[in-house]
Structure 1
Amino acid sequence: MDAREVLEQVKSGGISVEEAERYFQKQPYEEMGYAKLDTYREIRSGFPEVVFCSRKADVHLKNIYKRLYEENGEVFGTRASVRQYEVVQEVLPQVVYDDVSHILKIEAKDKTRIGEIAVCTAGTADIPVAEEAAQTAEYFGANVNRIYDVGVSGIHRMLSHLDVIQRANCVVAVAGMEGALASVLGGLVSRPVIAVPTSVGYGASMNGLSALLTMINSCANGIAVVNIDNGYGAGYIATQINRLAVKGE
């Protein structure tokens, strides 16, 4: 439960004042030795803690997932492997793994989604990073429209979806190679564009550095850039923007 739910429970008589007091007396993180779970993060920021799965020891990952699920009723992790999915599944059989985005999650079934975010890719090879962004935004409560493979080598493909893109509260532009998609979208929409450079491309793309530099140097207005392949970061920021847009309606 978050702080508001605790207070509502006290108000309705669902829990006693003493039980609520014990909740608020908990330290703002849970010490596990190898990890300090930030159990108050949602209270501070509006979003619960997310697990970066890559390079975590099996026993650590298993226990972290189990504890976060017990605390929040759902849990979300990025950059997970098939092996890590199998490890977590030993203690949480309901966990779901997506082998495109490498997301490992248990999501609440009764979740309400608000607003609208458009996630666009230049090519099909950019979809894994785009899916990390899209599924992050969906997990945090946003409606997402996916518009994939609409890069500048065939710009008519993107223009045929322009109505969907322009009505979104935020646009995520995921592109490798030269990364031009973000600049094109920035010139066509009135809402913020979050550019995500990917490591897709030939040698001179330098594993996404060329796309990153193109996006940073864009002359289009309203473009912010996250790190190479950082779909999670883009999905998180897009969700924050979407929440503000819905709140301001």
Structure 2
Amino acid sequence: MTASWPAPPIFARLDHDRADRRGYPEAIYCRGKTVAQLTAIAAEVREHPHTATLFTRAEPEQAEAIRSVLPDAVHHTDARLVAWPPGPPQASGGRVVVLTAGTSDLPVALEAHLTATYLGRESELIADVGVAGLHRVLAHLEVLRRARALVVVAGMDGALPSVVAGLVTAPVIALPTSVGYGAAFGGIAPLLSMLNSCSPGVGVVNIDNGYGAGHLAAQIAAPFT
């Protein structure tokens, strides 16, 4: 007989009241969770349907486990996101625009874009408009100025949020990514650049936190009450 530390009787306590309390349901962060745990969590989610439940950072095996319980759930592979129920709600409120400095930032940007979409906002994604070619972002200026909130995703030097914030009236959510060579230090360099933005109206979320950025953008762009 092998002795082991007693396991707790419950490994997850889902916050089913969060949608009523905050207006948005809880998301399930999949990284570090076993297939068995996610299967059980998905079964509980099925018994408490909300507007949208998002399973974030889901690897293929984890997504398969979730969809074994919620077969109509949608797995957005590039964003590593599983959404259930499958269809986003009808959009309301203002528009969210998500833009990336480079193509390598897309997985994180897609997580932000889809999060805002499933939380009920009209969201548009504009990719590969970094500061190495300023004409690329200026070509989308009309779209940027129609946004209620913008998520600007960048690795490397993290300069794009400051540029965008100097061109628009809406708040800019700066989202640093771990994209970059050695001196980018896994996203710390763009994070510090964004925190030191010269342009006012820039808020910064954690490195690679697409869900957090998309959620905040959805809240900022919520319908006026």
TM-score by length of 1: 0.83
- Which runs of structure 1 show a deviation greater than 6 angstroms over 4 or more consecutive aligned residues? none
- How many residues are paired up? 216
**Contact 1:196–1:226 (CA under 8 A) maintained in structure 2:** yes
Question: Could you say which structure has the higher helix fraction?
Answer: 1
User: 30, 34, 59: which is aligned to 2:11?
Assistant: 34
Residue range with higher mean Cα deviation, 223-232 or 85-94: 85-94
Change (3 A) 1:107 1:90: closer
Structure of greater Rg: 1
* Aligned positions of 1:135-174 closer than 5 A: 135-174=114-153
Q: Indicate yes or no: 2:110 matched with 1:101.
A: no
| Unmatched runs of 5 consecutive residues or more in structure 1 | 1-31
Contact 1:121 1:151 in 2 (8 A): yes
Looking at structure 2, the residues matched to 110 and 137 of structure 1 have their Cα atoms a distance apart, in angstroms, of: 10
Give the structure, 1 or 2, with the largest relative contact order (CA under 8 Å, sep 6 or more): 2
> 1:45 & 1:72 partners in 2: Cα distance?
16
AA of the residue aligned to 1:192: P
Instruction: Provide Cα deviations, 1:59-98, integer angstroms capped at 9, x if missing partner.
Output: 1111111211321154211000000111122222212212
Where 1:240 maps in the other structure, the secondary structure is helix
Contact 2:88 2:119 in 1 (8 A): no
Q: Which residue of 1 aligns with 2:43?
A: 66
Q: Is the 8 A contact 1:69 1:75 kept in 2?
A: no
Q: Taking every aligned residue pair, what percent have the same amino acid on both sides?
A: 46
Counterpart code for 1:235: G
Shift in Å at residue 108 of structure 1?
Answer: 5.1
Matches within 5 A, 1:1-249: 33-73=10-50, 74-107=52-85, 109=87, 111-114=89-92, 115-243=94-222, 246-247=223-224
SS in 2 for 1:247: coil
Q: Which residue of 1 aligns with 2:6?
A: none
Q: Note the aligned Cα RMSD (angstroms).
A: 1.5
SS in 1 for 2:221: helix
TM-score, with normalisation over the residues of structure 2?
0.92
